[in-house]
Structures are given as structure tokens and as C-alpha cells.
């Protein structure tokens, strides 16, 4: 059984050597105890880094037999880079484990994930036990996001990011999802194969800066919501009907006030009404525009990524044999 560990990288020179050391130790242990093949490997995906990440990956490839490299022609974002790595690694392995390069996810549970696969699970989610290491804002915003996703009908795993094991057939089914607006945390549960979860404590980032500042987190949340649910549009329609009802009641009140002689010119109430309705209109246009924008991107059917270079010891060996 060949295991591939897929690691998307964007400006990760500060942490990449330590990541290589720890993942190599895990892989060597699994090979020694006979749980995975000696042909197993770690694939680093360079997502258009600007700090020499690809040069470092090429250096590690020459000195470490377990290191493979995938260089994308430009920055395509974490989700697309991860998809590129999974689809490429799938052709050379039986199971894939995706993990971020920052070492916040506990690499020690990789062995438990492999054990779960042997038990018959096609997908094994790595799930955080708690969010004690997060800031107050990040912890509560994440909690609110997952609850909102559930209410909108999106099937996602709470406290799970992109640390997961997937079998070859699970990734083959994943490749059938052709959308360009990728939100893998919502797509993977749709595959439907036998799944389970492994729980672990999340660590602080080993080095470098987070690649998900608040702005990117908000954009990621918006992509997740609008990619899997049309309920925001339905909420807009419901709000419109509610405002229509309020307007009818207000009209009845105005007619009554005029008839009874109690009508008073109210500049404040008029202005508040204008601003309120105007804001609702602008928010509604924004939400609808988000969906239209996604349709615009999808119908173009542009490729999600372009692979520039693949570093593979397997391919090198085949070339030497020929």
C-alpha cells in the first residue's frame, strides 16, 4: 500500500525543513512496521511562492528519497493547489493524506489514519479536539461559521480543516466535481463513502506567518456558503415579502392618520425608512451578484491550475530503467 502525503505550500521556506524532518520520520516508521510501502512519498505543492519555496523543495528532493515536488505555474489558491496535489498523487499511490505545511496539525495521528483505512474507511477526517490555541475572535467566528453552514444545509465536519486521509477511489470521485469555486470541506462529505474521524490537539504554528488572515477567512467563508446553498437568495425574497407586509401596514396607518386628522410630517421616520430599505436593496444586490459572479466563473470552464514541473523519484527510476 503506497501512501502519499500531500502538502500545499505558499511562502513556507521558514518551516519547510522542519516539516520535511517530521513527516519523513512518520513515513519511515510506517515503512519499518510494514503498514505502508517503501514507495510512499511526501509531495510538496508550490503554489506560486515568492520566497524561494520551490528552490528549497528541489533541494530537498535531491537529498531525500521520500520528497516529491509539484510546481504550479502561478498562485491559484490553497484549495486549487490541494486539488492539484491530490489528483497528481492519486496516480502514484493508493491513499493520500493532505496536511498543511505549518505543523499545526499533529503528524503523529497519521498512523491512526492509516489504521482506520485498513479497517475499511475511505475517508478519515482529522478533527481538532478544541480551539484553545485560537484567539477569542477566531474561535467564536469559526463557531459561528460552522453553525451558519449547518443552518444553510451544508454538510461539513465541525473543527475539521483540510487534514484528512482519502482512498484512491474517494479521490477519483472527488475529481468528478468540476466546479472552479472549490470548497473541499463541503465537497468531500458529498462523496458518500464510509468515513470516520481522528481527534487531535492543534499546535501553534512552528514558524512564519499565517496564510489565512481575517480578510481571507471572510472570503473563504463566503465561498463556502455561496458554493453550497441558495438559501441566502431565498432569505432575500423572504425579507422582500416581509418589507412589503410592513409597507402595507404602514400605508393603512397613514390612511387612518389622515382620516382622523393626526397626520404629522416626520422627517426622521422618512429618512430612517429610506436608509433601511436602501441598505436592504444594496445587500440583496451584493448577495445576488456573488452568485452571478460564480456562475460567470463556472461557465468559462477555465483550468483550475497549470502544472509547470513535477519532481518524482518514481518517474526518474522509470527513465533510468528504460
The tens digit of pLDDT for each residue in 237-259 reads 677 667 666 766 766 766 666 67
Task: With cut-offs at 50, 70 and 90, classify the pLDDT of residue 159.
Answer: confident
Give the 3-state secondary structure of residue 219.
helix
**Is residue 5 pLDDT above 90, yes or no?**
yes
pLDDT averaged over the chain? 79
Q: Is the pLDDT of residue 232 over 90?
A: no
Euclidean distance between CA atoms 98 and 83, whole angstroms: 10
Most confident range (mean pLDDT) of 4-13, 216-225, 273-282 is 4-13
pLDDT above 90 (res 86): yes
CA distance 106 to 296: 39
- 115 touches 22 (CB < 8 A): no
Task: Find the mean pLDDT for residues 57-66.
Answer: 94
User: pLDDT band at 190, cuts 50/70/90?
Assistant: confident
Among 173, 163, 21, 175, residue whose Cα is nearest residue 106: 163
With beta carbons less than 8 A apart as the criterion, state whether 39 and 2 touch.
yes
Residue 138 pLDDT > 90: no
Would you give the DSSP letter of residue 20?
Answer: H
In the structure, what pLDDT confidence band is assigned to residue 320 with cuts at 50, 70 and 90? very low
Query: How far apart, in whole angstroms, are the C-alpha atoms of residue 72 and residue 69?
Result: 10
Instruction: Print burial letters for 102-129: b (CB count within 10 Å at least 16), e (below 16).
Output: bbbbbbebbbbbbebbeeebbbbbbbbe
pTM for this model (two decimals): 0.71
Mean pLDDT of 37-51: 93
pLDDT at 313: 79
| pLDDT tens profile 111-123 | 999 999 999 999 9
Neighbours of 312 (CB within 10 A): 19
pLDDT band at 170 (very low <50, low <70, confident <90, very high): very high
Lowest-confidence segment of 8-22, 67-81, 173-187, 209-223 by average pLDDT: 209-223
Please tell me whether residue 310 adopts helix, strand or coil conformation: strand
How far is it between the farthest Cα atoms of the chain? 99
* Percentages (nearest 5) of helix, strand, coil residues in the chain: 55, 15, 30
Q: Look at residue 280 in the predicted model and tell me its pLDDT.
A: 73
Cell reading at 162: 483540510
- For the four alpha carbons of 209, 135, 83 and 18, in that order, the dihedral sign comes to positive
Can you tell me the distance from the alpha carbon of 16 to that of 14, in angstroms, rounded to the nearest whole number? 6
**Distance of alpha carbon 8 from alpha carbon 78, whole angstroms:** 7
pLDDT of residue 321: 45
Return d(Cα 186, Cα 299) in angstroms, integer.
21
Least Cα distance to 170 among 149, 187, 157, 150 occurs for: 187
First to last CA, the chain: 25
Number of other CB atoms surrounding residue 272 within 10 Å: 11
Summarised one tens digit per residue, pLDDT across range 261-319 is 665 566 446 655 765 676 677 677 767 777 777 676 666 677 788 899 999 877 555 44
Place of cell 479536539: 129
pLDDT at residue 268, rounded to an integer: 43
Res 213: pLDDT: 56
Amino acid at each position: 500500500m503506497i501512501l502519499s502525503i500531500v502538502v500545499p505550500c505558499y511562502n513556507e521556506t521558514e518551516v519547510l525543513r522542519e516539516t520535511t524532518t517530521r513527516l519523513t520520520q512518520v513515513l519511515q516508521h510506517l515503512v519499518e512496521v510494514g503498514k505502508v510501502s517503501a514507495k510512499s512519498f511526501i509531495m510538496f505543492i508550490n503554489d506560486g511562492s515568492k520566497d524561494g519555496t520551490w528552490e528549497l523543495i528541489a533541494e530537498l528532493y535531491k537529498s531525500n528519497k521520500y520528497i516529491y515536488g509539484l510546481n504550479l505555474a502561478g498562485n491559484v489558491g490553497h484549495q486549487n493547489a490541494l486539488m492539484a496535489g491530490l489528483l497528481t498523487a492519486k496516480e502514484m499511490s493508493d491513499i493520500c493524506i493532505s496536511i498543511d505545511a505549518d505543523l499545526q496539525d499533529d503528524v503523529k495521528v497519521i498512523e491512526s489514519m492509516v489504521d482506520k483505512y485498513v479497517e475499511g474507511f475511505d475517508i478519515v477526517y482529522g478533527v481538532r479536539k478544541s480551539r484553545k490555541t485560537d484567539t477569542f475572535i477566531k474561535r467564536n467566528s469559526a463557531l459561528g461559521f460552522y453553525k451558519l453552514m449547518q443552518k444553510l444545509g451544508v454538510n461539513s465536519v465541525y473543527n475539521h480543516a483540510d487534514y484528512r486521509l482519502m482512498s484512491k477511489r474517494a479521490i477519483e470521485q472527488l475529481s468528478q466535481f468540476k466546479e472552479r469555486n472549490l470548497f473541499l470541506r463541503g465537497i468531500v462529505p458529498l462523496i458518500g463513502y464510509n468515513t470516520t474521524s481522528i481527534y487531535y490537539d492543534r499546535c501553534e504554528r512552528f514558524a512564519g506567518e499565517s496564510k489565512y488572515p481575517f480578510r481571507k477567512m471572510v472570503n473563504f467563508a463566503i465561498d463556502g456558503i455561496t458554493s453550497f446553498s441558495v438559501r441566502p437568495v431565498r432569505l432575500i425574497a423572504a425579507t422582500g415579502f416581509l418589507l412589503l407586509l410592513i409597507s402595507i401596514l404602514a400605508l393603512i396607518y397613514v390612511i387612518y392618520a389622515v382620516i382622523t386628522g393626526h397626520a404629522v410630517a416626520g422627517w426622521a421616520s422618512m429618512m430612517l425608512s429610506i436608509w433601511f430599505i436602501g441598505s436592504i436593496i444594496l445587500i440583496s444586490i451584493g448577495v445576488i451578484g456573488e452568485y452571478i459572479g460564480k456562475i460567470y466563473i463556472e461557465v468559462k470552464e477555465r483550468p483550475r491550475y497549470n502544472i509547470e514541473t513535477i519532481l518524482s523519484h518514481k518517474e526518474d527510476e522509470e527513465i533510468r530503467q528504460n
